[in-house]
Amino acid sequence: MPQRQPQHSVGQESIFQAALTCFYRHGYDGTSVRDIAKASGTTPAAMYHYYASKQDLLMDIIGRFMEQSIEVTRVAIDEAKDEPPAQLFAAARSHVLWNASDVVSSFVVNSEIRSLEPDNRHHNIAQRDKLQRMFDAVVARGVEEGVFMTPWPREASRAVVTMCTAVATWYKSGGELSPEEIADRYGAMALSLVGSTLGVASS
């Protein structure tokens, strides 16, 4: 499963994680700066030492997760066999594993886009578009090469990303299937969505 590395000092990381938990439990609008300070064992002044506002803190949470999502997908595609079915299977599989590896972050990232201010929302949409285009390129190539038969490549690609992201809304550790088993099944379903003529065997 993908491993995320802390990107902040100990103090900032404590505030970051506390805010993440508060936003997950109470929502962005239902969380105050004092709530974050209390959860992190610090003071509001400590948060303002690292962030200009609660909005900047939310943007750090969302931006970091999206940057890592893009990188995880890029690596998965680059390391797969140079064939569209193998690349799509790997991209879908990695996206499932990434979102299942931190359901709290995934939930906040995908539910609190509504709370971003216009400039921040624009930046976040650009990140989401960049991730989506990686899947789009693989699907488009598969259609061009005749190994994907979908008549709607863009819609199918969007459905794959949405499906894989949504795993975080229901996945719980210790369930019937391991994250790897779920990821394998979603990789197979991604190939089915695009009408792959080669199947999982090519992956």
Domains and CATH numbers, the chain: 55-202 (1.10.357.10)
Amino acid at 20: L
Mean pLDDT of 181-188: 97
pLDDT attached to residue 121: 96
User: Mean pLDDT of all residues in the chain?
Assistant: 93
Q: Is 69:131 a contact under the CB 8 Å cutoff?
A: yes
78 backbone dihedrals φ, ψ, rounded to 5°: -65, -35
The tens digit of pLDDT for each residue in 37-72 reads 999 999 999 999 999 999 999 999 999 999 999 999
| Kind plus residue range of the DSSP H or E element containing 173 | none
For residue 1, pLDDT over 50 is answered with no
With a CB cutoff of 8 Å and minimum separation 6, the contacts of 144 are: none
Which range is least confidently modeled, 62-66, 88-92, 117-121, 172-176? 172-176
pLDDT at 29 over 70: yes
